[in-house]
Chains A and B, each alone.
Chain A
Amino acid sequence: MKRPSAPLPRFLRPAPPRPGDRNGRNNRRNGPASGGAVAPPAERPSAKDTAVEGAASAVGWLDERTGTSAFLRFFLYRKVPKGINWFYTLGTATLFAFLSQAVTGVFLAMYYEPDPTRAYESASHITNEVFLGEFVRGMHKWGSTVMIILIFLHMGRTFLFGAYKYPRELNWVIGVVLLTLTLAMGLTGYLLPFDQRSFWATVVAVNINASGPIVGPYLADFLRAGAEFGPTTIPRFYALHMLAIPGLIAALIGAHLYLVVKLGITAPPWLKAEKKDLLKEEI
């Protein structure tokens, strides 16, 4: 099925040619030349026109090779049901919370040292001495809570609107895996400041893992890198926290969004189908 292309915003439309202007106002390529193309332009194009022309041709070069604009037009102008409202932005809000965590996390990693003898010092160095360190660390710390709250709000919206039903069950399942991974991020990140609270909370959390039948003791040994909290426990949590789990989350967010776009968005439950009566008559 061919989708109708969305109308271009006004500022992107080619300007109509002015009287006496052979190539249109901005000398754009995408408008047909109004007059004969034989006569050379009377004066040299201005610097601004050259810059605009250069930028347009660079964007065109990229677009011709990647199809970005076609994808964006399809992605951003796709059809959504009537009645969508602010509740439908909670998923995007969660995505931006994740992006914020990713960006602040990368910058925190530039100062943090994942070593049991250095972790606490480097974390307090970030807070107390690094320029804007307290702010970035605070964003990461409070952002984690915000992300988990947003996930639950998003999940509640999906549940209460019945948006988990056929054919979107798989997306619900992916969402639950994402929730679990986000909680695992919370668990692994909690150890990293390595103060008394994070140390003992992690000791208890790992022992809760150990209480699982059969696999529990092995899982705890895997998390601790041994029978006791040892020199490689923090590096292990750090690697899980900033490499393994975020990679999985990013990949699953991709799958989640792909299914959202492929399957479309559900209408709110209070909206009834418009042609219901017509269908009744036909029967």
Chain B
Amino acid sequence: MADPPKIDKSSRYTEDRGIAGAFEGETVTRRRLMEGTVLITGGIATMAFALPGLGFALGPIFEDTTPTRWQDVGVVGDFNDQTYVPRVINIVPEIGDPGKTTIYVRRFNRQRDKVVEGQDPQPYIAISTRCAHLGCPVRYIQASQKFVCPCHGGVYGFEGQVEGGPPVRPLDRFYTRETAGRVEIGDRFSLNSELERFAPRDPSNHLDGLWQYIYPSRPTT
């Protein structure tokens, strides 16, 4: 053992690398190990509160926040197939006025309404007043049989299809049914320009062409 210890910088042993206080057969110094332990412990401790917190904040994305509730909007005789009747329903019942919204309801019209193949037509057409552009409330103008949005000038035809302005798809609708002579309103759904039914999207989300692929639907629908 007269030779001076050889230093091999690329060796995996700390002793060979000439690190002071190295043990034989050791590949990591004690200082390095402590550094790693402290970092990993700190990382675990941080993740232990950060991840549940983040999940807590992001939770509403992954859960169904609007469970199905059928709401009575009047007797069958209140509605016809020629014009819309406004009704107020509760989208979110817990918050009072902000949770209410106006919808326009009429009976399904055999001559005018398009029947999409493979999708059962709804007995009543219940049109949402939430503009498909950015969500302002649209109003139905009986004289021109159009829905008009006050914010950015979106115009929709009798069936809610886009006729002008910035909206990217027709007005949303709600499921409808008849129970014991009364009309009931259910969940919201969205439509593309062919009036095919889709899971409800936010306003401004396209449902046609290539655009529809950059606006995914909710994980819960």
**Which residues of A are in contact with B by a Cβ distance under 8 Å?**
116-117, 194, 199-200, 203-204, 206-208, 210-211, 213-214, 216-218, 220-222, 224-232
CB < 8 Å neighbour of A227 from B66, B95, B151, B214: B66
Give the distance in Å from the alpha carbon of A226 to the alpha carbon of B221 in the complex.
Answer: 12
Taking the nearest CB of chain A, how far is it from the CB of B2, in angstroms?
50
In the complex, the answer to whether A204 meets B215 with C-beta atoms within 8 Å is no
Which of B4-12, B103-111, B197-205 lies at the interface with chain A? Answer: B197-205
In the complex, the answer to whether B214 meets A204 with C-beta atoms within 8 Å is no
In the complex, the answer to whether B60 meets A207 with C-beta atoms within 8 Å is no
In the complex, the answer to whether B203 meets A210 with C-beta atoms within 8 Å is yes
Task: For A230, list chain B residues within 8 Å (CB).
Answer: 65, 92, 94-95, 99
CB < 8 Å neighbour of A213 from B57, B214, B217: B214
Task: For A231, list chain B residues within 8 Å (CB).
Answer: 92, 94-95
Q: Does B218 contact A (CB under 8 A)?
A: yes
Given contacts A204-B134, A204-B151, A217-B202, contact A225 B96 (CB under 8 A): no
Q: A214-B214, A222-B61 are in contact. List 6 more A-B contacts (CB 8 A).
A: A213-B214, A217-B202, A225-B65, A226-B65, A229-B92, A230-B94
- Nearest chain-A residue to B206 (Cβ)? A211
In the complex, the answer to whether A222 meets B94 with C-beta atoms within 8 Å is no
Task: For A203, list chain B residues within 8 Å (CB).
Answer: 134-136
Q: Does B22 contact A (CB under 8 A)?
A: no
Task: For B203, list chain A residues within 8 Å (CB).
Answer: 207, 210
Interface size class of B (residues with CB under 8 A): 20 to 34
Task: For B202, list chain A residues within 8 Å (CB).
Answer: 207, 210-211, 216-217, 220, 227
In the complex, the answer to whether A211 meets B136 with C-beta atoms within 8 Å is no
Task: For A226, list chain B residues within 8 Å (CB).
Answer: 60, 63, 65-66
Q: Does B76 contact A (CB under 8 A)?
A: no
Task: For B217, list chain A residues within 8 Å (CB).
Answer: 217
What are 11 A-B contacts with C-beta separation under 8 Å? A116-B99, A117-B95, A204-B135, A207-B203, A214-B214, A214-B216, A216-B204, A221-B218, A226-B60, A227-B202, A228-B92
In the complex, the answer to whether A221 meets B204 with C-beta atoms within 8 Å is no
Taking the nearest CB of chain A, how far is it from the CB of B101, in angstroms?
9
Taking the nearest CB of chain B, how far is it from the CB of A167, in angstroms?
30
Give the distance in Å from the alpha carbon of A243 to the alpha carbon of B58 in the complex.
Answer: 17
> Using a CB-CB cutoff of 8 Å, which residues 24-62 of chain B contact chain A?
57-58, 60-61
- Nearest chain-B residue to A211 (Cβ)? B204
Chain B 130-145 interface mask (CB, 8 Å, partner A; 1/0): 0001111100000000
Chain B 155-184 interface mask (CB, 8 Å, partner A; 1/0): 000000000000000000000000000000
In the complex, the answer to whether A228 meets B136 with C-beta atoms within 8 Å is no
Residue of B65, B91, B98, B134 ringed by the most chain A CB atoms within 10 A: B98
Taking the nearest CB of chain B, how far is it from the CB of A124, in angstroms?
15
Task: For B98, list chain A residues within 8 Å (CB).
Answer: 116, 194, 199, 229
In the complex, the answer to whether A207 meets B204 with C-beta atoms within 8 Å is yes
Chain B 118-156 interface mask (CB, 8 Å, partner A; 1/0): 000000000000000111110000000000000100000
Task: For A227, list chain B residues within 8 Å (CB).
Answer: 65-66, 200, 202, 218
Task: For A210, list chain B residues within 8 Å (CB).
Answer: 202-205
Task: For A204, list chain B residues within 8 Å (CB).
Answer: 134-136, 151
Given contacts A207-B203, A227-B200, A229-B92, contact A200 B136 (CB under 8 A): yes
Going nearest first, the 5 A-B pairs with the smallest beta carbon separation are A226-B65, A211-B204, A210-B202, A213-B214, A116-B95
CB < 8 Å neighbour of B61 from A116, A200, A214, A221: A221
CB < 8 Å neighbour of A225 from B60, B201, B218: B60
Give the distance in Å from the alpha carbon of A274 to the alpha carbon of B136 in the complex.
Answer: 62
Taking the nearest CB of chain B, how far is it from the CB of A200, in angstroms?
7
In the complex, the answer to whether A208 meets B215 with C-beta atoms within 8 Å is no
In the complex, the answer to whether B204 meets A208 with C-beta atoms within 8 Å is yes
CB < 8 Å neighbour of B96 from A116, A199, A216, A218: A116
In the complex, the answer to whether A207 meets B92 with C-beta atoms within 8 Å is no
Given contacts A203-B135, A208-B204, contact A222 B151 (CB under 8 A): no
Give the distance in Å from the alpha carbon of A229 to the alpha carbon of B65 in the complex.
Answer: 10
In the complex, the answer to whether B205 meets A228 with C-beta atoms within 8 Å is no
- Nearest chain-A residue to B57 (Cβ)? A222
Give the distance in Å from the alpha carbon of A210 to the alpha carbon of B217 in the complex.
Answer: 11
Given contacts A210-B202, A226-B65, contact A217 B215 (CB under 8 A): yes
In the complex, the answer to whether B60 meets A222 with C-beta atoms within 8 Å is yes
Give the distance in Å from the alpha carbon of A217 to the alpha carbon of B216 in the complex.
Answer: 7
Give the distance in Å from the alpha carbon of A221 to the alpha carbon of B201 in the complex.
Answer: 11
